[in-house]
Amino acid sequence: MEIGIVIQGSTNFCKEIISAYRSYPYIIWSTWDDEPSENINAIKESGIPLLINTKPGEDCGYWNI
């Protein structure tokens, strides 16, 4: 069985998350473009594919944070 992992959201604990999941073959991290640059760089350097999204404005939808 192959497992795919999507990490979505904040990069606050990126070093711990990178350490825990780096060995999985199918992983991607999706986060906002206003996350701290040192966290973004750490994710990029880990080799985990990174998808950076523009944070939605005031009208972001129901319960979409």
Residue 63 — pLDDT band, cuts 50, 70, 90?
low
- Opening angle at CA 10, ends 7 and 11, nearest 5: 85
Kindly report, residue by residue over 32-58, the tens digit of the pLDDT: 999 999 999 999 999 999 999 988 777
Rounded alpha-carbon distances, angstroms, from residue 24 to 5, 11, 53, 63: 8, 18, 23, 30
CA max distance for the chain: 41
Task: State which amino acid sits at residue 20.
Answer: A
Residue 62 has pLDDT above 80, yes or no: no
Question: With contact defined as beta carbons under 8 Å apart, do 4 and 29 qualify?
Answer: no
